[in-house]
Amino acid sequence: MAYLIAFHWGWLLASLLLGLGMGWIAVVSRVRPVSSRWMLILSVLAAILVALALTRIVPGRFGYWLDLLLLMFVPYLVGCAIGSQLRDWVVRRTMPPV
Amino acid sequence: MRGLFRWSGKWWPGVVPLVLFWAIAAWNNTASVEADLGGKSAAAVKDIVLDKTRISVDGRDVTFAADAFSEDGRHGALIAVETVPGVRLVNDESRLVPEAKPFVWSAQREVARITLAGNAPLPAVRAKLMDVARDEVKGIEISDQMNLARGAPAHFEDAAVLLIGQISKLKDGKVAISDSGVTLSGMARELGGREAIAAALRNLPQGFSVSANDVRAPPYVFQANKDPVAVTLTLSGYVPDENVHAAILGSASRKFFSEKVVDNLKTSVGAPSGFVNAAIPALGVLSRLSTGTLVVSDREVKISGDALYEAAAAQIKAGLPKDFPRDFQVKADISVKPASAPVDATVCQQLFNDLLSKAKVRFLTGRATIDSDSAGLLDHLIETALRCPNANIEIAGHTDSDGEDAANQALSERRAQAVLDYFVKAGLPADRFTATGYGSSQPIASNDTDDGRAQNRRIEFLVR
């Protein structure tokens, strides 16, 4: 893990920034949100991928690419969460008192 | 928290560029990651003794193949690769080097090549043996046909190095180790080489023993070549020691009265017993030839050349069986030199004088028995007498003044008669010769000195 982070820190930083941007936009975006059913499906898919990575079943380059994908997803999600939280805080501060 | 869950439903559009990032990262970095992990894995096993190490990386999975020389070494190498940071999985394709039973190693020398073959216990030992062979025999191709194997006996390296040291003493042959047994075969390069190898084998490491030593010695060769053009007698080859060397040189200088003796002899052990008893008579035979070659090779004597006249050739052939030790085989190829043109009495006298100015007919001390060293001179004197068939020749004997006059007179007569008899035996007609003794009455030098007395003891030829 430490090796992957050290080797791909630039890409992980890019994922984090992408997540920050996406999270920032998501709070005020009019895009149609993913339904709960799809959210469940995607969560299960993610869990399966994580399980495959942890059990090291996927061999060779495919295994490495799976590890890299999951690793890049983490800063993306973290960035999204931070971005959304910040945007929500900014929006709340600028709203006129009711 | 509820807000976070609600907003997360709108994060999906960012996944598209994220996947794009991932694809670019994977495209760019896969080869770099594989090269990096490959280099680090190779560095991790660098100090572990392995053979045929192959490391290949697929993603972060390392395939490690190598031949190890012990189970500990194999296990240690595997752990070293597994603990390289970044390595995900290790496919272990390592194995133990096969064990050789028996553990066999050999070094074979041909004319222009040395081949090291068989088993070597470690790569470093294999390289060292090659280096030792290169140092030991410079300028010769060294071929490495060794395979690595386990099961070498203790001190194998020391034993192999010692045996490679013996290869330089062989002209051709093979040295080999089979477990703790050592075998040697082939031909020693020089006389004494076989003995030197046997001496070196006494220093084999503990536990090793010589199973067979079939190293042969080269033939012990002594050669003499009589060259009538250069007027030289060239001696070459070997003699057993300095005493024999001096004896042969002394004998040659007495027998070959007009030739310059060129001494190229070397001393070496390995002479057959009775060598000197064969070499000196063989020189005596050669001294009777006008031109010829003598080769004593171990116990075989080969003499070839031209005798000065027919009877000499017959005498030489007849004398061979009794002149040489029984265990020597003598092969003589004696032909006869074409007869020289006849000359008149004056020239004949001159020829006698020339011969006798170079050497004297020698007798045993105080007796009328001709010394065998004078056979060559007598043959030349007979050849000269054959060239003047119409001349009558007086053979005159002289002594020094030591002793009674009557005894000296008798001795000079008997010595002159002995020479006459020798001539008659050679086929010359007795009526052409007269033997006269002059005792000490006609000195040619002072009898007061050893040198003068030696000059006065002489045989002269007077052509009438």
Q: Domain residues of chain A, as ranges?
A: 11-94
pLDDT band of residue B61 (cuts 50, 70, 90) is very high
Chain B neighbors of A72, CB-CB under 8 A? 18, 21-22, 25
Those of residues 7-46 in A touching chain B at CB distance below 8 A are 7-8, 11, 14-15, 18-19, 21-23, 25-27, 29, 31, 33-35, 39
Is residue B105 within 8 A of residue B155, CB to CB? The reply is no
Chain B neighbors of A45, CB-CB under 8 A? none
The helix-helix angle for B156-167 and B123-136 (nearest 10°) equals 20
pLDDT at B2 exceeding the cut of 70: no
User: Percentage of chain A with pLDDT > 70?
Assistant: 97
- Minimum CA–CA partner of B16 in chain A: A18
Return d(Cα B425, Cα B361) in angstroms, integer: 17
Residue A31: predicted pLDDT: 83
Higher pLDDT, B270 or B113: B113
pLDDT at B213 exceeding the cut of 80: yes
H-type helices in B52-178, by residue range?
A: 71-82, 123-136, 156-167
DSSP run (H or E) holding A45: helix A36-55
Residue B48: predicted pLDDT: 85
A95 touches chain B (CB under 8 A): no
Residue B137: predicted pLDDT: 84
The string of pLDDT tens digits covering residues B138-161 is 888 999 999 999 989 999 999 999
Q: Is A64–B60 a contact, with Cβ atoms under 8 angstroms apart?
A: yes
Other Cβ atoms closer than 10 A to B403: 13
Instruction: Report the residue count for chain A.
Output: 98
Cα dist from B43 to A42, B38, B87, whole Å: 42, 9, 13
- Classify each residue of A17-46 as buried b or exposed e, where b means 16 or more C-beta atoms within 10 Å of its C-beta: ebbbebbbbbbeeeeebbeeeeeeeeeeee
Residue B462: predicted pLDDT: 93
Q: Is B10–A85 a contact, with Cβ atoms under 8 angstroms apart?
A: no
Chain B neighbors of A9, CB-CB under 8 A? none
Shortest Cα distance from A66 to chain B (angstroms)?
10
Is residue B215 within 8 A of residue B197, CB to CB? The reply is yes
pLDDT at A98 exceeding the cut of 80: no
In which residue are the tokens 């794009």 written?
A: B20
pLDDT band of residue B464 (cuts 50, 70, 90) is confident
- Classify each residue of B97-114 as buried b or exposed e, where b means 16 or more C-beta atoms within 10 Å of its C-beta: beebeebebbbbbeeeeb
Chain A neighbors of B11, CB-CB under 8 A? 19, 22-23, 26, 77, 80, 84
Chain B neighbors of A61, CB-CB under 8 A? 30, 58-59
Nearest by CB to A60, which of B29, B58, B86? B58
pLDDT band of residue B437 (cuts 50, 70, 90) is very high
Return d(Cα B422, Cα B265) in angstroms, integer: 34
Asked if residue B121 has a cis previous peptide bond (ω within 30° of 0), the answer is: no
* Model pTM score: 0.60
**Angle of CA points B121, B125, B127, to nearest 5°:** 125
Q: Is B18–A60 a contact, with Cβ atoms under 8 angstroms apart?
A: no
Nearest by CB to A56, which of B17, B18, B89? B89
* B238-257 mean pLDDT: 92
Residue B370: predicted pLDDT: 92
- Report the Cα–Cα distance between both ends of chain A, in Å, rounded: 49
Residue B459: predicted pLDDT: 94
